[in-house]
Chain A
Amino acid sequence: MFDLATVFEFTRDTVIFTVGLTAVLASLGVILCSSPIYCALYLISHMICLALLFLLYNAEFLAVVQIIVYAGAVMILFLFIIALLGGKKEVQELTFERSIAVAFIFTLLGELYLSATVGPTKQIEGKINPEIFGTAKAIGLELYSKHLVAFELASALLLVAAVGVICLAKFSFAPLKRR
């Protein structure tokens, strides 16, 4: 009656379901909340939920990276900009074009839901050592062998972005007068 494996599985499923639902609700919060600060906070909680989901789907390295990169850096930047530019509440108004677009999105959503009913994908067997699946080591081994080109391209992209940001954001105020 009480099989330990079943209970464990059930618990895991419950956790995944709850976290997933929270993630969806948080994302709803992002688009429905009128104050940008709260939007950002909802997005942060969404990111954290996703990180937990990553952890539950055996991607512990990516979960940590998700928190470090998204929650630790990207969202801080968002908050920084909000503080700098002001987080004025915005008035929502739904124009005709917008409603059309939203309707289109909902159609898309329906289609995607339909596609979810397609049967499960088959596992690829025996390629990965399950011991280290999802750890930094596994990711590293994979990244530096099979996906080296993508990795290099990504690093080049980062470099370009860094240069671009400096060019963009370095507004030319008069050089600081050292009295």
Chain B
Amino acid sequence: MGQEFVLLISSSVFCIGACGFIIRKNPLIMFMSVELMLNSVNFLLIAYSSFLNSLDGQIFALIIMTVAAAEVVVGLAIILTIFRTRQEMDVDHINALKG
């Protein structure tokens, strides 16, 4: 398949992720949407690394994975802490700074 296909898939997934981040209220699913966006970029990088015959893209994808993993654990820890203090998970209601 050509590069158009890769671009289409990747951009669709990216936009779906962005959409999800906006329309969902559950912070967990918002996180998942962020993962979707990161993954779409990863795919793009890897596909282009194959097209360009260069490994740089794959290296970047690897580092993005690292960042994503770090981000997820920190994010989940924050969610857990918020839940423990506030007993709810709806982001619309978590708007006060006070814990």
**When A and B assemble into the complex, do they touch directly, with CB atoms less than 8 Å apart?**
yes
A positions within 8 Å CB-CB of B: 13, 16-17, 20, 23-24, 27-28, 30-31, 36, 39-40, 43, 46-47, 50, 53-54, 57-59, 61-62, 65-66, 69-70, 73-74, 77-78, 81-82, 84-85, 88, 90, 92, 94, 98, 101-102, 105-106, 108-109, 112-113, 115-117, 120-125, 127-128, 130, 133-134, 138-139, 142-143, 146-147, 150-151, 154-155, 157-158, 160-162, 164-165, 168-169, 171
Residue of A nearest to B79 (CB): A81
Residue of A nearest to B38 (CB): A70
Cβ contacts B1-24/A at 8 Å (1 or 0 each): 111110111011111111110111
Q: Which 7 A-B pairs have the closest CB atoms?
A: A31-B20, A161-B70, A112-B11, A116-B7, A168-B77, A109-B15, A57-B50
- The B interface is mostly helix, strand or loop, or mixed, namely helix
Q: Are A124 and B7 in contact (CB under 8 A)?
A: no
Q: A40: which B residues are within 8 A, CB to CB?
A: 28, 32
Q: B73: which A residues are within 8 A, CB to CB?
A: 77, 161-162, 165
In the complex, number of A-B residue pairs with CB atoms less than 8 Å apart? 222
If A23-B13, A102-B19 touch, whether A78 touches B76 (CB-CB below 8 Å) is: yes
Q: Are B76 and A81 in contact (CB under 8 A)?
A: yes
Q: Are A23 and B9 in contact (CB under 8 A)?
A: yes
Q: Are A81 and B80 in contact (CB under 8 A)?
A: yes
For A31, give its contact among B4, B11, B33, B81 (CB under 8 Å): B33
B positions within 8 Å CB-CB of A: 1-5, 7-9, 11-20, 22-26, 28-29, 31-33, 35-36, 39, 42-43, 46-56, 58-59, 61-63, 65-74, 76-81, 83-84, 89-90
For B74, give its contact among A20, A98, A117, A168 (CB under 8 Å): A168
Residue of B nearest to A170 (CB): B77
Q: Are B49 and A165 in contact (CB under 8 A)?
A: no
Q: A94: which B residues are within 8 A, CB to CB?
A: 23
Q: A30: which B residues are within 8 A, CB to CB?
A: 16, 20, 29, 32-33, 36
- The A interface is mostly helix, strand or loop, or mixed, namely helix
Residue of A nearest to B49 (CB): A59
